[in-house]
Structures are given as structure tokens and as C-alpha cells.
Amino acid sequence: MILLTGGNGQLGTELRHLLDEKGLNYVSTDAQEMDITDEQATLAFIQELKPTVIYHCAAYTAVDKAEDEGKELDEKINVNGTENVAKAAKAVGAKFVYISTDYVFDGTKKEGVYKETDKPNPQNEYGRTKLLGEQAVKDLLDEYFIIRTSWVFGKYGHNFVYTMKRLAQTHPRLTVVDDQYGRPTWTRTLAEFMVYIIENNADYGIYHLSNDNSCSWYEFAKEILKETDVEVAPVTSAEYPQKAKRPQYSVLDLTKAKNTGFVIPTWEEALADMTASLEKEEN
């Protein structure tokens, strides 16, 4: 039996569809079914279910709100919630998959890529709490996978692809930051990797997983809107201030993930596949 937390979120919804396709038996929860910030309720739920695998997708992801009005909730969900689910996983002996972020790094690396062994140094509240979640998993469990990902987009939920497409309908010109570099990640690719490492008994530990190739947000936006007449113009981060500081450079090293035998499409291929899938559904 598989347990999925955050089952109605962007990644959780993608993972549910994948598990359905594979005919795998799972229980999907969101805050209504299991409040992960309630330690006793979480333990009771998981002890009754007795899952062998827990995909922990539930998270507080409002990065800018986490700096002020959402700070307390960010801590409760990403730190305390993760700790509660990990404790319950230990109690039933379940394998644990935790989704983390490139925001655990400070983004000051000048060349190369961020390896799993590089020292984290988060620069915003979201990155800080996700790193504390990682630490809780490592402290409590032996059979765990921590997957750091970046720039997540997909068919379900709010993300950069939909934001750009929506703005393009009402604006002839869009400005997008061109001095932050990373790797976009399609939720489908991430969900497939999550299932792959369990099915193939990969070594436990930390993995970095995004789509291959890297880009700036500006380059990502240009590719998203290449079939439109909208002008996409580059700006600096200084011209587009946000509450939470973002890493200027957070390209993740994919070597360890590739060494499991998992084939990673480029972000351009992933975006094209997702776009084609959406168009197919519309027609």
C-alpha cells in the first residue's frame, strides 16, 4: 500500500494520475483527510493504513508569503508536518520519499552544478524550512529518499507556464528576469522518478532531479510563448523585486539520478510534451 500526502497539489495530482496508469494501490490524502501538523492524528492514520511507501508531497510552497504572513504556517507544515509523517513512517517501517528544493542553496556558485553533497545555505524562509524538513528525515529514518527539485511546472495547479500563457492573452509585452538560472522540472518527470527509485530499489539518500538542460526564467518564458506574438523582454532581478530572495544560480547536478538508469528528458522536450497533451485534451 502506498500513501501520498498533498495529493491534491500540483505534484500530488500528477503522481495520482501516474499511479492510476500503473494500476498501483494507494491512498491519497490532503489536509482534510490527514492534518500532518497534528502529530497524534498523523500517527493514528498511518498506523491504521500501514503503508509500505510514503510519498510526502504535502508542503507550504507560497515562497514570498513565507517571509511574513505565512511564516508560522510554513514552519508548521514543512518542518513539524514533515517530522510527524517521518515519525509515523518509522513506526510502520515505510520507505519515505521527501520532496525538497533548490532553494536550500544560496545560488552563489559561479560555475559547475550543485551536487547533492554541496553545503546548503538557504536565503529565504521556504528554503530554510525545507532544509529543516530534510534534516528531520535524515535524523529519524534510514530508508529515505530526499529529492531536491527546481522550477516545477505541470498540467495541474498554478505554475510559471500557466502564468505566462495567461499574461500573454492581455499583454503585448512581458518582462521576465534574465539573471536567475536553473533547470525547469515537469511534474510528470518528477513523479516518474519518484516511482522509479522505489520500483528499482535505488540506493537511499539525497538525489537532485529536474529536467535536463538549464536556462534563465527569460529563456523559459521565450520557449513557452514562442507560438505567440507577445514580445518577451529581459530584465534584472533588481528590476523585479520579490519578498523572498531567489538563488541567482541553482542548476542541479543530475548525474546521480541518471546513474540509477532513469532517462531524463530535456526541459524543452518536457514542455513540448506537456503542451501537446494539453492541446489534445482541448480538441
- Supply the residues annotated as catalytic: 126
Lateral strand order in the sheet of 205-208: 26-29, 2-5, 53-56, 95-101, 144-149, 205-208
Instruction: Give the C-alpha separation, 227 to 211, whole Å.
Output: 22
Using DSSP, how many helices (H) and how many strands (E) does the chain show?
A: 10, 12
Instruction: Give the C-alpha separation, 124 to 245, whole Å.
Output: 6
Is residue 220 within 8 Å of 151, Cβ to Cβ? yes
What lies within 8 Å, CB to CB, of 2 at 6+ separation is: 19, 24, 25, 26, 27, 51, 52, 53, 54, 55
Instruction: Give the C-alpha separation, 60 to 181, whole Å.
Output: 23
Length of the chain, in residues: 283
How close are the terminal C-alpha atoms of the chain, in Å? 36
Instruction: Give the C-alpha separation, 212 to 267, whole Å.
Output: 6
Count Cβ atoms below 10 Å from residue 282 Cβ, excluding itself.
6
Instruction: Give the C-alpha separation, 121 to 29, whole Å.
Output: 31
Which of these, 57, 59, 78, lies nearest to 4 by C-alpha position?
A: 57
